Amino acid sequence: MMEHEAYLDMAAVEAQHWWFRGRRRVLEATIRRLKLGPGARILELGSGTGGNLAMLSQFGTVTAVEMNETALQISAGLGTGVDIRPGYLPDALPLGDQKFDLICMFDVLEHVAEDEASLAVVRRRLAPGGAAVITVPAYAALFGPHDVALHHKRRYERAELAEKLRKAGLVVEKLSFSNAGLLPLALVSRWLDKALRRSQPSGTALPPRLVNESFAGIFGAEAGLLRWIDLPFGLSLLAVVRSGD
């Protein structure tokens, strides 16, 4: 579970930080290509401080589930009108028998001890013809202070994630790396975090404006690129899946 202070820090920068902005641009383009019908039922699992709720609301009626009370309070104060409920993966979701046309898990799975069971829940909650969009951090070898600070339990290899999706009964439509352009800088930053034994990992604070805008543009540019190709490397993995039923 992320600590109280971590959620406050996230809320303070989520609207402006290059990583959140770039990721939202990529996710919005990915969801738009799904061509959801009018009145689509959308579920965000692990909605955090609510930074994706306005974007998701463009595509239908959104329900959100979040386990952390601080994050719930912050997101409820955004005025998005989204139904945000307390709950836990994999077996404490307050959703009754609801099914959804789109289920989103944006950098959530790495926080959950029972990741395979949680993916199975995603499959069971998908309506016929529905899709799920899932992102996770990539490369187990990069696990370090940044992940510890964010209470990650793991980072994923591409083949590992593909196998866990398959075992959960999900059919992969797309599985690509993302945030590729900034991988070299991230590798240097993560190495320094480890070498210097930093207690506060680099990259979480809002950088200077020029740097922030440049990084947001580099990451966000993948929104168009991912329409045509799967990227061979990157800091994250992006999966679009459907139920195998």
Across 223-230, average pLDDT:
96
Contact of 43 with 66, CB cutoff 8 Å = no
Across 145-151, average pLDDT:
83
pLDDT single digits (tens) 36-72: 998 999 999 999 999 999 999 999 999 999 998 888 8
Residue position matching structure tokens 């959620």? 7
**Collapsed DSSP state (helix, strand, coil) of residue 233:** coil
Token pair for 27: 């996710």
Q: Could you give the CA distance from residue 10 to residue 4 in angstroms, rounded to a whole number?
A: 10
Token pair for 65: 């589930």
Q: Where are the alpha helices (DSSP H) in the chain?
A: 4-13, 18-32, 53-57, 69-76, 115-125, 145-149, 158-167, 183-195, 209-220, 222-225
Q: Could you give the CA distance from residue 151 to residue 8 in angstroms, rounded to a whole number?
A: 15
Of 182, 205, 208, 203, the residue nearest 192 (C-alpha): 203
Structural domains in the chain plus CATH codes = 4-243 (3.40.50.150)
Mean pLDDT, the chain, integer? 90
The CA-atom distances, in angstroms, between 234 and each of 191, 217, 222 are 16, 15, 11
Of 92, 91, 94, 89, the residue nearest 134 (C-alpha): 89
Report the run of H or E that residue 43 belongs to, with start and end: strand 41-45
Q: How confident is the model at residue 153 (pLDDT cuts 50, 70, 90)?
A: very high
